[in-house]
């Protein structure tokens, strides 16, 4: 009977989650502009996308620090909790996360585009990275992140105040997962900052939390049957610790040039990164313990470091572009002077280190045929607006590029001929590029005939 119930639960999760994930993927949740297109479909489309994005996020390192905690709440640490009560606790836990994310959506809607610049502000990024490293140390057993004894007593009592404790833990769990925005949550938050719609922001982020909570409902159903805490739990925590350090490095990329510029899109670099990650994991990054004898501790420390370098290398490979355009960076007069002399147009790319869709566009620029087309008819000008300064705001207002990404095609006199407002695949970008180039060449022919 129990096996049948678990099987039906698994089928239900697949039936609900997979269509949502597929819809989110086809709509490219990584770009705020693409999510605007999803919302234009009306009906449940944006909420289905949010739900699928939340479930996809639940499969990332965002939730690793919470897994051992929620397993304890739902019955995997010796507390006698029935399956029904475990699911009830999970419901309140997810409701707490929903409140956290709904608040996050409302806040982003209120503060608008300035929210993205936080990810390029060392005053925000460094404390966030430190928090992740501290959480990683806890995962490795350096110390225990325990609630006060009175709270633990309430949680173990399941009824009454215990449910309130699960709700409170959900609030904390939401804060733990919130910084790991990734492409999906980044797209949702980017959309919210553009619309400044508090109701839409709160409700979409709440549904996102429900998608993220599917994993915890599954954990609640299985936790009663899982073996009690043991070596398997330590392996899970070590895996979470490695992932958290990698996430910390990822957050530091926008403010640390060495991390931002590390990596190559070559196969050799990827193979080396994968080999390092495998070497570190095989040497004991997961299965060894820091509570063992000194030699084992040193071996695990080295293994963790090697695994982190390898995994971050894989991320760096994925984010590196195959080739770099001959950008003129942050120098408008030079770009237009060169364009006027060569009778070319100017392609302005407004970007920021914290803008995920902007980074994805770099791969589009480097695609075969597109890089050559840009160089043939345009002078590429990159304007970095990562920081919220008066000069950057003036540039964005001048070209109507208050939201990112923004790629603007101009002739040599500064007249706009085309614009891209969101991430687009190479094929779609090629169409825009061809239309813009045709207009620029037509103007150049007119001038040559005078």
Closest C-alpha to 305, from 242, 251, 252: 242
**Helix residue ranges per DSSP H, 224-331:** 231-252, 257-261, 267-280, 294-319
Domain total of the chain: 2
310 domain-assigned: no
Structure-model confidence comparison of residues 321 and 349, the more confident one: 349
Q: Is the peptide bond before 405 cis (omega within 30 degrees of 0)?
A: yes
Closest C-alpha to 183, from 394, 387, 48, 27: 27
* The dihedral formed by the CA atoms of 165, 171, 176 and 180, expressed in degrees to the nearest 10: 150
**pLDDT, mean over the chain:** 76
Dump pLDDT digits (tens) for 375-428: 999 999 999 988 878 898 899 999 998 878 899 999 988 899 999 988 888 999
Answer with the one of 176, 210, 228 that is the final residue of a domain.
228
302 domain-assigned: no
Structure-model confidence comparison of residues 78 and 110, the more confident one: 110
CA distance 86 to 289: 30
CATH value at residue 375: 3.40.30.10
pLDDT for 19 equals 41
Backbone angles phi, psi at 111, to 5 degrees: -90, -15
CA distances from 241 to 57, 125, 245, 282 (A): 17, 19, 6, 16
Look at the pTM and tell me if it is higher than 0.85: no
**Are residues 223 and 333 both part of a single domain?**
no
Answer with the one of 189, 208, 228 that is the final residue of a domain.
228
**115: containing domain:** 2-228
Dump pLDDT digits (tens) for 360-384: 889 899 998 999 999 999 999 999 9
255 domain-assigned: no
Radius of gyration of the chain (CA): 25
Q: What is the DSSP string of 402-422?
A: -SS-EEEEE-TTS-EEEEE-S
Sheet holding 328-329, edge to edge: 328-329, 378-384, 345-351, 406-410, 416-420
Beta-sheet pairing, 406-410 with 416-420: antiparallel
Confidence band for 122, pLDDT divided at 50, 70 and 90: confident
pLDDT for 4 equals 47
**Are residues 71 and 187 both part of a single domain?**
yes
pLDDT for 11 equals 40
How many C-beta atoms lie closer than 10 Å to residue 316's C-beta? 22
Confidence band for 23, pLDDT divided at 50, 70 and 90: very low
């Amino acid at each position: 009977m129990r096996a049948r119930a678990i099987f039906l639960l698994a089928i239900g999760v697949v039936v609900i989650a997979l269509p949502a994930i597929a819809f989110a993927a086809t709509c490219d949740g990584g770009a705020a502009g693409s999510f605007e297109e999803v919302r234009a479909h009306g009906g449940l489309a944006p909420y289905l996308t949010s739900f699928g994005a939340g479930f996809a996020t639940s499969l990332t390192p965002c939730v690793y620090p919470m897994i051992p905690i929620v397993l304890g709440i739902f019955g995997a640490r010796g507390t006698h909790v029935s399956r029904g009560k475990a699911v009830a606790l999970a419901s309140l836990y997810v409701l707490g996360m929903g409140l956290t994310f709904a608040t996050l959506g409302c806040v982003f809607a209120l503060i608008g585009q300035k929210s993205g610049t936080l990810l390029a502000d060392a005053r925000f990024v460094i404390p966030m990275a430190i928090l992740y490293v501290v959480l990683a140390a806890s995962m490795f057993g350096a110390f225990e992140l325990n609630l006060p004894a009175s709270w633990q007593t309430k949680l173990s009592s399941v009824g009454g105040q215990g449910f309130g404790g699960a709700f409170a833990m959900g609030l904390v769990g939401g804060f733990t997962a919130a910084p790991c925005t990734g492409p999906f949550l980044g797209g949702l938050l980017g959309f919210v900052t553009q619309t400044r719609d508090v109701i839409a922001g709160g409700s979409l982020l709440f549904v996102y939390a429900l998608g993220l909570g599917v994993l915890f409902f599954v954990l609640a159903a299985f936790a009663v049957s899982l073996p009690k805490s043991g070596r398997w739990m330590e392996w899970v925590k070590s895996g979470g610790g490695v992932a958290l350090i990698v996430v910390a490095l990822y957050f530091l990329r926008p403010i640390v040039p060495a991390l931002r510029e590390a990596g190559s899109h070559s196969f050799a670099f990827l193979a080396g990164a994968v080999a390092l990650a495998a070497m570190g994991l095989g040497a004991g990054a997961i299965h060894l313990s820091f509570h063992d004898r000194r030699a084992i501790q040193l071996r695990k420390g080295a293994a963790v470091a090697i695994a982190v370098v390898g995994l971050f290398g894989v991320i760096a490979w994925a984010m590196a572009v195959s080739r770099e355009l001959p950008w003129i960076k942050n120098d408008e007069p030079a770009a237009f002077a060169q364009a006027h002399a060569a009778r070319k147009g100017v392609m302005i790319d407004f970007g920021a280190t914290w803008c995920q869709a902007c980074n994805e566009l770099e791969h589009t620029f480097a695609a075969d045929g597109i890089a050559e087309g840009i160089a043939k008819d345009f002078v590429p000008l990159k304007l970095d607006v990562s920081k919220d300064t008066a000069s950057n705001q003036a540039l964005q207002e001048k070209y109507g590029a208050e939201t990112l990404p923004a790629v603007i095609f101009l002739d040599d006199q500064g007249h706009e001929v085309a614009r891209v407002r969101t991430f687009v695949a190479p094929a779609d970008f090629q169409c825009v590029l061809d239309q813009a180039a045709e207009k620029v060449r037509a103007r150049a022919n007119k001038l040559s005939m005078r």
